[in-house]
Structure 1
Amino acid sequence: MADVVDRVFDTVADAAPEIRAGLPERRAKRDDENVSGDTQLEADVWADDLLFDRTDAIEGVNWYASEERDAVVTVGDADEGYAVALDPLDGSSNVKSNNPCGTVVGVYDQPLPAPGSSLVAAGFVLYGPTTTMVVARNDEVREYLVDDDGRTDLGLVELPADPTVYGFGGRVPEWSEDFEAFVRNVEDDLKLRYGGAMIADVNQVLVYGGAFGYPGLSSAPDGKLRAHFESMPMAYVVEAAGGSSSDGSGSLLDLEPTRLHERTPTFVGNDAVIEDLEAALPD
């Protein structure tokens, strides 16, 4: 079934230039919210529909889930196969300000909701100055340049040994005292880099080393990021690149969400930074 996973990422890569080209005319907000309560842009729904139509054609993908849809859509006719979970346009609020955004992909070998251990591949497309795709599978991470001619392999991605950058989301007044104290120690050694699109911020960690995270807040104890669509796929990528992930107490890949749109505190980065984070937070 490995060819099914290949076809998923081929399909996303083929769609990426079309998605990028379609963003300028779809910057307006809709009157709707998604199931998580986020205001949708026209681009969110359009990208979701496009990716659903393309994924629906892949034999072996039997379930499709998206941050923009209330429930899992059964697209195959078998009891076994793969589930594809997408954040079709991560960081879509950046479209208006012309900052980076992207698409997150998680491929699970069982229907959702599913544990992080059921991920068999994950990755993302980043719409930055260039369009790139990062794919993690079989304990290896590779980066590709994506354009109308297809994918160009740019080589292996490995987390640098020395951390350089950090970025943590949420309003500081809503951080816990323990987390704020941890960040104050981190900022003595690392440079702040936070752009408001998880994909772009995680990609900077992959390039320069460091840490990205979105903690639990006083107004949102589980944080902002969704386990199936954002947190566990990014954990899969960063761990395959030689780093670590955490919800504050253990690997995000050990999570067992019981709801499709479940949220979780999310941290990824170099082992040492994540270890310090877990030591700083209460059990």
Structure 2
Amino acid sequence: MTGPIVTVEHFIAEQEREHPQATGAFTDILLGISLAAKVISAAVNRAGLIDVLGVSGTENVHGEAVQKLDDYANGVLVGILGRCGSLSGMISEEEEGFIQIPESRDPGPYIIAFDPLDGSSNIDVNISVGTIFSVYRKRSDGPRVQIDDLLQPGSEQLAAGYVLYGSSTMLVFTTGTGVHGFTLDPGIGEFLLSYRNMRIPSPGKNIYSINEAYHDQWTPGQQRLVERFRRPPTGGAPFSARYVGSMVADFHRTLLRGGIFMYPATTKSPEGKLRLLYEVAPMAMICEQAGGRASDGRSRVLDLQPTGLHQRVPTFIGSPGLVEMAERYLADD
């Protein structure tokens, strides 16, 4: 690494100095995320050597088999963030209801939603997985969390980010002033600034990312869109298909190279598969902060009003021109 060494702690402190009204409570959450990411990263890297591979024998609220590493990552995040003192509570993919901060502690001004380990079914075959998170301000004044505190549109997010556990571990986040990436240096155990003010290439690479096994379950518009990618008009630039099956990995590639990531509605899942509060909305905030676009196929993701903690939405996210193209093809469905 060349140039000055900037840790995530130093970077957050710099941002605080630029915003004198900051109280430090928000910083507490981001530092808690970075600590949890280090702990989870260590477990992911040793997954084949310790008893965290395979399913736990239980199902989560969505009826999906829970991986042992899902349970572990969820416990790490709940344990660390529950003690940071800045939160009123948490929403997790692995928990049916809202996680209330113990009444013995004074509630903080923020709420966090997270997917502890996105793509965890890939861990057995050594494919990248990740953590996704989103931070909101508690709206109500009382000590107890209200439903309006939980179901806020993505436009109200104060921060969003993800951690990618791959060949290296990266923490990428935004607080509404650009997107910044930090790479974990295992030698010193610190996240170091490696990408400042990340921008999604536009038009970027002609890459589309989707699970084509569901082709027969797509709407006609979605089928025509993918056919357009497969067979561009004469003289049009060819497209490449890339699909990992872990949203964090697929989106990270899209953020760096451009293209479009899609998880559309199907006849069996007309509402899509990905969850709005702790998967799609945070990625949408990051994408827009990096100059991209995020849609449910009809409208801007960040304008959607959640109706449930685990609400699902179709997802189209990436370079603006390609997301706009997807909306045009889906308009008549």
Aligning the two structures, in what range does the TM-score lie when normalised by the shorter sequence? over 0.9
| One-letter amino acid of the structure 1 residue matched with residue 73 of structure 2 | A
* Alpha-carbon distance between aligned partners in 2 of 1:78 and 1:16, rounded to the nearest angstrom: 25
Q: Match for 2:204 among 160, 163, 174?
A: 163
Unaligned 5+ segments in structure 1 are none
* Deviation for aligned residue 1:57: 1.3
Match of 2:165 in 1: 127
* Alpha-carbon distance between aligned partners in 1 of 2:177 and 2:62, rounded to the nearest angstrom: 31
1:118 equivalenced with 2:156 (yes/no):
yes
Match of 1:199 in 2: 248
Q: Deviation per CA, 1:190-228, whole angstroms, max 9, x where unpaired?
A: 211110000000000011001101000110001110001
Counterparts of 1:70-219 in structure 2, within 5 Å, are 70-75=96-101, 81-110=109-138, 111-148=149-186, 149-154=189-194, 155-164=196-205, 165-169=207-211, 171-187=214-230, 188=232, 189-219=238-268
* Alpha-carbon distance between aligned partners in 2 of 1:91 and 1:183, rounded to the nearest angstrom: 23
Asked if 1 retains the 8 angstrom alpha-carbon contact of 2:39 and 2:76, the reply is no
| One-letter amino acid of the structure 2 residue matched with residue 47 of structure 1 | A
CA pair 242-126 structure 1, distance change in 2 beyond 3 A: same
Q: Match for 2:41 among 10, 15, 20?
A: 20
Q: Match for 1:62 among 88, 93, 101?
A: 88
* Alpha-carbon distance between aligned partners in 1 of 2:254 and 2:41, rounded to the nearest angstrom: 23
Q: Return the structure number with greater strand share.
A: 1
Unaligned 5+ segments in structure 2 are 1-21, 139-148, 233-237
Q: TM-score, normalised by structure 1?
A: 0.95
| Higher deviation after alignment, 182-191 or 199-208 | 182-191
Larger gyration radius, structure 1 or structure 2: 2
Asked if 1 retains the 8 angstrom alpha-carbon contact of 2:28 and 2:86, the reply is no
Q: TM-score, normalised by structure 2?
A: 0.81
Aligned residues: 283
- How many percent identity over aligned positions? 33
| One-letter amino acid of the structure 2 residue matched with residue 151 of structure 1 | F
- Secondary structure at the aligned position of 1:156 is classed as coil
- Secondary structure at the aligned position of 1:132 is classed as strand
Match of 1:37 in 2: 63
- Secondary structure at the aligned position of 1:93 is classed as helix
* Alpha-carbon distance between aligned partners in 1 of 2:64 and 2:228, rounded to the nearest angstrom: 32
